[in-house]
Structure 1
Amino acid sequence: MIEFHQKMVMQKGEVVMSDWETVYEKWRSYESLNPALKQELENMEGHQEMLEDAFYTELTFGTGGMRGVLGPGINRMNIYTVRKAVNGLAEYLKIHCVNVYDRGVVVSYDSRYMSKEFAIETAKVLGAHGIKPYVFDTLHPTPLLSFAVRYLGTVAGVMITASHNPPQYNGFKVYNEDGGQITPDEASEIIGYINGTEDELTVPYLTQEEMEEQDLLTWVGQEIDNAYLEQLEGITKLDPEAQNDDKDLQIVFTPLHGTAHDLVLKGLKQLNFHQVNVVAEQTVADPDFSTVESPNPEEHQAFTKAIKQGEQTDADILIGTDPDADRLGIAAKDPSGSYTVLTGNQLGALMLDYILSHSDPALLGNARMLKTIVTSELGRKIADNYGVKTINTLTGFKYIGEKIRKFDATGETFIFGYEESYGYLISDFTRDKDAVQSAVLASEMADYWKKQGKTLFDALQQLYKTHGYYLEDMMSLTLKGKEGSEMIASIMETIRKEPLMEIGGLQVQYVEDYLLSERKVIETGRTEPIELPKENVVKYMLDYESWVCLRPSGTEPKIKCYFGVCEANEEAGISRLADLKAHMEKIIHHV
């Protein structure tokens, strides 16, 4: 086993401390260290592996921000690593943005441990730079932060959230003045300023009292909620008369201990959805997420309580949002009367078809549908059917938000964007995936199909019958620590050095290497450029519209492998997916 770092090194015949131990000693001896963190450090004494992991490297600030386990150390989420990140962000904003001090930065937070505390710490460091912080007065969804940046006209936004990660995690996400997640170029520059902050323990900050005395701190809430709800009402595809009709759709909704409860219910009420039963236990903003194994609507166990309540109330659909309300999961009745949780690809295809079929055909010629490179090709087929152009982006909704921003210059019209990991955007008044918008539109869509005598499951089968049976899947391998990072790098290096010619019995037609920005046609050896930012991703396009994509995660210590197939029926699709997965599993584990 490779050691993270050598515990001790020899220098001029003497035994000296390694780098991580030097940093640990600095924290341990810092007299003003936060008492709670100091106590945690004392509890860790003698546990060398735990200490090393907390101090051997700095918590990574990636393309959208940082995310990590709570606790003491430079490789953990705590008030000091947050202060350092904010200090770097502030230095960046002062140089790169206009009217920074007057426009300020808006800060929001979710239901996790330390979320509100980190939001306040963010405000305190901004205040020390003379930058006005706008802080939400209660926990709010991530899409509300995106909306607030645009509504208030701030130079940036910060969201304290770890999305659907386990309870011991929290995170720090940065948004640019357009309300989208920062781009890779912006992140790279911000990282430079963060790295220029030498000592995370001594970052200057104001107290909350000092900010209030200087009229720097502004608390926000209801005004932004109301403005958002006004925009939300406009996403409907119903005519005014149908909007005012009472809907008899039976809905069960769970916010999974997060932030979506109030806005989803208000959004549904605006369209006269009154038959909404909430999973009461899961409305509690519980940072332990105590009623689920994981607060992630991508995982079917998150719907256990909703399914039970749905069976009791004979619900038509079940709705689940993740804790920061940017991801949405839906369960619909299948022919047996049981509830089937739709995949992100399936729900995205259904919403896309509903939107396009209820749009003015004369307006679709300039419309653009956005999806990621690992999202189902069914969406493209549907868009083609309505004469709408599909644009692929790299994985991550930040790239969809960035593309929408460019439409302001090109004159193209955004009509829908989605990714396989349960993220959707219907209207661009927010610039990130939005589970509140999606919950309202999905309910409207389910009501539409109910009036046709169909469930969402029936509507999905109709799409498959029209366009082909598209199935997708994903497998991931978690490899933590420095050794894990090296193994992930080794897998990607091997894939590039020894490119595959056949996967699961299917021939490779061409290979897309996004790190090289190059697409290679296997039969001819011809290469052509890929007009997307560079990223460590390799995608294989195979016979019969099948594909495999290998990608290290940007937010977790994982390497992910995505699969897509198109077959004549479900059974053939399942079989084909199994062949592809078995082949790639052998390759990954062999490396």
Structure 2
Amino acid sequence: MTSWKKVYDKWKSFPQLDPNLQQQLLEIEHDPAELEDAFYKELTFGTGGMRGVLGPGTNRMNIYTIRKAVFGLAEYLLEHRVNVKDRGVVISYDSRYQSFEFAVESAKVLAHFGIKAYVFESLRPTPLLSFAVRHLSTAAGIMITASHNPPEYNGFKVYNETGGQITPDEAEDIISYIRKVDNELTVPAMEQEVAEKEGLLRWAGKEVDTAYLSRLQFISKLADDEKEKEKDVSIVFTPLHGTSLDLVTKGLEQLRFTNVHVVEEQAVPDPEFRTVSSPNPEEHQAFSMAIELGEKVGADILLATDPDADRLGVAVKNKDGVYEVLTGNQLGSLMLYYILLHYNPIVTRNPRMIKTVVTTELGREIANSFGVKTIDTLTGFKFIGDKIRQFDWTGETFIFGYEESYGYLISGFVRDKDAVQSAVMAAEMAYYWKKQGKTLLDALQEVYEKYGYYREGLSSITLKGKDGAETISRIMENFRNEPFTEIAGWKVEKIENYLTGERKIVETNEVEPIGLPRENMVKILLEEKGWVCLRPSGTEPKLKYYYGVCGKDKVDSEERLARLKAEMDRLIESYQPKVRN
């Protein structure tokens, strides 16, 4: 008998198995491929936590995989942190299937160890969880979310005592404790009623929201008298069936943005996300209903947050009167430019802008022009959050952080990307430039003319299951070992292999350290400011490939980008196994 079948039999014969999971097992018992995928491995606990499809099995999100992860986390905290039982852990959750149940299960396992848990009384955004860890001085935080993944997914993210996502070293330590759990089906958990009675499960409420909103108003770059004025900006906002409605609308209201129109059909939390094909503001279809409402009310700007409210998408009208969705690189660069237009270099010590290695180089150009140093991190906002933590003792000042995947952070009172902060800042920028007779697109054009026509793209292929994971691994290996001298006609200047931590200068064959943690990623720098990068997603069964250019004007940059994309598409296709008829 193969190993996955033994695990399946263990689950099938477990007398106390959750009835819903038991029924789901019966429904797939004659589907060996589905059973193998559910049981052939344990759900991967990555550098921030775990994310996967809901259902029975060790490779699925369910109460048993949650309990096992929390058991390991609890043992790690008790060994590595002080006053854990008194400080406790704060837990939040989004609108997905079983999010509330997973939050309570987490609290019940913590209660078994005598660790109190603060569980929010209703769903809350990820950035509020990050804030709550710091505000409540807890030993850790847990966020139950799968961000913008499809409805069949859920996830479990862990935050450290500084409010940031756990670092790779912390994750490795936690994983070592999780691996010690022999049987996920028998992890002990205190009954909810007992935990509540003993004060080990406490419900968090509006007090944290109020504290967050108090800090939020200070991100504004407007003069005090300007803050009090009612803003002549028409805004359409959609939370895409997620968690951000209350905080975003209140955040806008306290800065006197009163002309706010909410897409009511998408204001209701819904685990199916019925009005969109994907609840991801990176995808333009998510704006369909916002655009419809925007045209009706004559909105200056459209705002859309993903379900856990850590990503923001923005759309504004172009010269043809059509709403155009800004890319994450464009919006992030505009935010950086706006912030630096209003910052005082005399009172700001060692200013730093932080971005990931796959984020546009336009940000570096903007920062340089204001005398602000740029720091690059690996992909993932956890690395940006950890850099901000390091500033507490390095004497550096955080100015702004962003990544191409619609994640931005204006103020470090949160240590993860924050769509609430970003929505308020985007509205303020629209107001600032509208007073000058400009839209955000007009401002972006000025930035391009001043710093260069940078354009970027991202493509991905989805390869599910065991075979898909093996194919992704094979493609990465082939790309890493390819002896590139040129790509799409542009000469290769440098090859950065993040798995070995080395950067090779092609012309001289010199090798130098990259200076970042190891990761399964390859980035190739081309002449004329072009680049490509290949990396597997850490949260989805996807292989992502990025590409960027800098052209003489809009048409030139678009032509260069299309050329580079076509070559990357061809390369990725050539590395995949051929299907025989």
Shared topology, TM-score over 0.5?
A: yes
Partner of 1:410: 394
Residues 123 and 217 in structure 1, CA contact (< 8 A), matched pair in contact too: yes
What is the CA–CA distance in structure 1 between the aligned matches of 2:348 and 2:555, rounded to whole Å? Answer: 35
Aligned to 1:194: 178
Q: 1:483 pairs with 463, 467, 487, which one?
A: 467
Q: Deviations over 1:272-299 (max 9, x none)?
A: 0000000000001010000000000000
Instruction: Tell me, in whole angstroms, the C-alpha distance in 2 between the residues paired with 1:107 and 1:498.
Output: 45
**Contact 1:124 / 1:205 at 8 angstroms: preserved in 2?**
yes
Report the alpha carbon displacement of residue 371 of structure 1 after superposing the two structures with TM.
Answer: 0.2
Helix, strand or coil for the counterpart of 2:219? coil
Q: Secondary structure at the match of 1:192?
A: helix
CA shift, 1:364, in A, is: 4.6
TM-score, normalised relative to structure 2: 0.98
Which of these residues, 484, 487, 491, is aligned with residue 503 of structure 1? 487
Q: Is the 8 A contact 2:356 2:376 kept in 1?
A: yes
| Distance in 2 of aligned mates of 1:560 and 1:230 | 38
SS at 1:36's partner residue?
A: helix
Structure 1 residue 307 and structure 2 residue 253: aligned? no
Residue 362 of structure 1 aligns to a residue whose secondary structure is coil
Name stretches of at least 5 consecutive residues in structure 1 with no aligned partner: 1-16
Q: Is 2:553 the counterpart of 1:569? A: yes
What's the CA shift string for 1:119-170, capped at 9, x where partnerless? 0000000000111101000000000000000000001000000000000000
Following superposition, the deviation at residue 496 of structure 1 comes to 2.2
Partner of 2:33: 49
Of 86, 94, 103, the match for 1:102:
86
SS at the partner of 1:354? helix
Residues 1:419 and 2:403 aligned together: yes
Q: Does 1:559 align with 2:551?
A: no
User: How far apart, CA to CA, are the structure 1 residues paired with 2:323 and 2:571?
Assistant: 35
Find 1:236's aligned residue among 220, 224, 243: 220
Q: Are the equivalent residues in 1 in contact too, given 2:349–2:397 (CA < 8 A)?
A: no
Aligned equivalents of 1:20 and 1:293: distance in 2? 33
Q: Which residue matches 1:36?
A: 20
Contact 2:460/2:544, CA 8 A, preserved across alignment:
yes
| Runs ≥4 residues deviating over 6 A | none
Query: What do residues 557-576 of structure 1 show as CA deviations (whole Å, max 9, x unaligned)?
Result: 11111011000112111111
User: What is the Cα deviation at residue 499 of structure 1?
Assistant: 2.9
TM-score by length of 1: 0.97
1:519 pairs, out of 491, 498, 503, with 503
1:222-301 equivalences under 5 Å are: 222-301=206-285
Q: Deviations over 1:23-52 (max 9, x none)?
A: 111111111000111111111121111111
Structure 1 CA distance for aligned equivalents of residues 282 and 559 of structure 2: 22
2:455 maps to what in 1? 471
The within-5 A match list for 1:141-540 is 141-364=125-348, 366-540=350-524
Q: Deviations over 1:496-547 (max 9, x none)?
A: 2223111111000111111111111111111111111111111111011010
Hey, what's the Cα distance between the residues in 1 that align with 2:481 and 2:376?
26
Is the 1:471–1:564 contact (alpha carbons within 8 Å) kept by the matching residues of 2? yes
Structure 2: distance between partners of 1:349 and 1:208: 47
Which residue identity is paired with 1:241?
A: D
Identity of aligned residues (%): 65
1:357 maps to amino acid: L
Gaps of 5+ in 2: 576-581
Which has the higher mean CA deviation after the structures are superposed, 475-484 or 536-545? 475-484
Q: Note if contact 2:349-2:396 (Cα within 8 Å) is conserved in structure 1.
A: no
Instruction: Report the CA distance between 1:326 and its aligned residue.
Output: 0.2
Indicate whether 1:87 and 2:71 are aligned: yes
Amino acid across the alignment from 2:550 = C
Conservation of the 8 A alpha-carbon contact between 1:505 and 1:579: no
* Equivalent AA in structure 1 for residue 403 of structure 2: E
> 1:538 & 1:496 partners in 2: Cα distance?
7
Matched residue of 1:135: which SS? Answer: strand
Paired residues in the alignment total 575
CA distance in 2, matches of 1:487, 1:38: 32
Contact 1:237–1:358 (CA under 8 A) maintained in structure 2 = yes
Asked whether 1:126 is paired with 2:145, we answer: no
Give me the whole-angstrom Cα distance separating, in 1, the residues matched to 2:189 and 2:441.
54
Aligned in 2, Cα 1:116/1:61: closer, same or farther, shift over 3 Å? same
State how far apart, in whole Å, the 1-side matches of 2:199 and 2:348 are: 48
How far the C-alpha of 1:365 sits from its partner, in A, is 5.5
2:346 counterpart SS class: helix
Report the Cα offset of residue 414 of structure 1: 0.3
Equivalent position amino acid for 2:203 in 1: W
Aligned-partner Cα distance in 2 for 1:541–1:430: 33
Q: What is the Cα deviation at residue 115 of structure 1? A: 0.2
Q: Is the 8 A contact 1:56 1:75 kept in 2?
A: yes
Cα distance in 1 between the residues matched to 2:482 and 2:285: 38
